[in-house]
Amino acid sequence: MDDDQPGLGLDSILKDAMERAGLSDFGGDTFREPLSRLLAGLEEEANLNATGRAIQRERIVSILVTNLQFESYWKRYPEIADERIEEPLVIVGLGRTGTTMLQRLLAADSRFFATLWWEARFPVPFPGEDVEAPEQRVHAALEEVAMMYETVPGLEAIHPLDAMQADEEILLLEQSFFSTTPESFAKITRFAAWLDAQDQTPGYAYLKRLLQFVQWQKKRRGLTGDGWVLKSPHHIHYSDVLLDVFPDARIIQTHRDPVEVIPSWASLNYSLWQQNSDDVDPLACGAHWNEKMAEGMRRCMRVRDAGNKDRFLDVAYQDTATDPLAVMKKIYDFIGWEYTSEARGAQERWLEGNRRDNRPPHDYTLEMFGYTEDGLKEDYREYRQRFIV
């Protein structure tokens, strides 16, 4: 490492975080080993450029500062622990299968709590910012989204990022360092393999606490809700842990042919890898994410078959794309909620304001990531036979 490049040493990063936060209590140490291994992966395997090193170091320091501040709030306001996350509705599925659309449609119904992107990115009030007035965090999130659209090629076509709309709670899960997010930004396959072999319970337990904190803040701002709608492709890998930590959760699983979605998913992650490294191999990126998602689908099917069939509702992407309000009715029946005229009206307005034809096309090919149609069909053979063919 050049002397002028930002360091990725654990001690210096912890020191910087504590100095910036003016705090030292992380509330526990389950984050230390995954963080240490993540830093080693970024140093030894990711081939980061100077910009990538700075981005990843700042991201990690920011996470640690947030954790320190979160623990401070948790101690000062013990009533946060009394918040209940009951019967969350969790959307899981491969990326590019309509999960974002389903979550945002459901979140249009004011009876649902959901993490807006700015809340997931900045779950703790900035210094001097009131819980009831999060304008500083909103402004920072809007600026960061604009920056990402400027620096990540094709992001607008790949994922409709919006600081003010519901988005996946993977950013909250990342606070524990038990998250697949870092491998979306860089080639760190050894770290990814190590993390995947660990018990994910600490990560999901931390996620639950953060959801309690976000819910407490929402209520302080005068918002009410009857339940949560969560979503992330991350959950297909660990839906058993999800159900252990949220034992009354119900799951919507979205389905679309992996032959269509895996190349698009690889393209998204390839764009993110390029932001952090000048030497990115699209074949390595394609292989990593295909193998990971194929195994995730196999795990999810095993969880379904282990006595959890009634916890899952299957939704085909084509149905979401062609008749989303009919899918909404199916979901409300599944969770036993009335599909009110107010909910339907709000969702109709969301659809009108978020038309897919307002976004540019997403261009990629199977070949650039080393895929073939027959190869992908074989990799997902059991899943395709069960849900697609």
Average pLDDT, the chain: 95
Per-residue pLDDT of 112-142, as tens digits, reads: 999 999 999 999 999 999 999 999 999 999 9
Per-residue pLDDT of 291-337, as tens digits, reads: 999 999 999 999 999 999 999 999 999 999 999 999 999 999 999 99
> Is residue 347 in a domain?
yes
Structural domain span for residue 350: 87-387
> Is residue 63 in a domain?
no
37 pLDDT above the threshold of 70:
yes
| Closest among 300, 293, 253, 309 to 89, alpha carbons compared | 253
Residue 255 forms beta bridges with which residues?
A: 316
Question: For the chain, what is the domain count?
Answer: 1
Torsion of CA 263, 267, 273, 275, to 10 degrees: 180
> Is residue 2 in a domain?
no
> Is residue 357 in a domain?
yes
Q: What is the pTM of this model?
A: 0.95
Indicate which CATH number applies to the domain containing 367: 3.40.50.300
> Is residue 8 in a domain?
no
Neighbours of 222 (CB within 10 A): 7
In this predicted structure, what is the pLDDT of residue 158?
66
Q: Which residues contact 317 (CB under 8 A, 6 or more apart)?
A: 97, 98, 254, 255, 256
> Is residue 315 in a domain?
yes
CB 26 within 8 A of CB 35: no
> Is residue 374 in a domain?
yes
> Is residue 42 in a domain?
no
